[in-house]
């Protein structure tokens, strides 16, 4: 396996009450759908405790591009949420995940 494949984990943390965040959910969903359609986002979803935020798993872009994509999130642009991005090189993965990379 090519061990240079990088994945970016965006941990989305809300900075304001959930009701405020959700008033911009349609814009955020459009952002997610755009990057899922482009194949950059492999998965995204809310934490079980929805008020805390969620996670986005991205690939196929550099760290700098991941940061730029993060800044486009309507929640981030409106200072409703922040993304903590962690990047790692895949060393081992299951066959189903490898097929996506």
The model's pLDDT over 7-65, given as tens digits with 9 standing for 90+, comes to: 999 999 999 998 999 999 999 999 999 999 999 999 999 999 766 899 999 999 999 99
Which two structure tokens, joined as six digits, stand for 4? 């240079």
Q: Is the pLDDT of residue 66 over 90?
A: yes
Instruction: Give the architecture (CATH level 2) of 6-100.
Output: 2-Layer Sandwich (3.30)
Give residue 1's pLDDT. 44
Predicted pLDDT at 50: 67
Element (H, E) at 87: strand 81-89
Q: Under a CB-based contact definition with an 8 Å cutoff, are residues 74 and 31 in contact?
A: yes
* pLDDT of amino acid 39: 94
C-alpha triplet 79, 21, 25: angle, nearest 5°: 110
Q: Which residues pair with 88 in a beta bridge?
A: 7
Distances (CA, A) of 46 to 13, 54, 67, 90: 10, 4, 20, 23
């Amino acid at each position: 396996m090519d061990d240079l494949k990088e994945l970016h984990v965006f941990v989305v943390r809300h900075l304001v009450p959930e009701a405020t965040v959700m008033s911009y959910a349609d814009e955020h969903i459009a952002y997610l759908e755009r990057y899922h359609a482009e194949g950059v986002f492999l998965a995204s979803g809310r934490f079980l405790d929805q008020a805390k935020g969620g996670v986005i798993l991205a690939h196929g872009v550099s760290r700098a591009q991941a940061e730029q994509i993060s800044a486009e999130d309507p929640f981030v642009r409106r200072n409703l949420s922040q993304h903590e991005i962690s990047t790692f090189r895949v060393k081992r993965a299951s066959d189903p995940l490898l097929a996506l990379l």
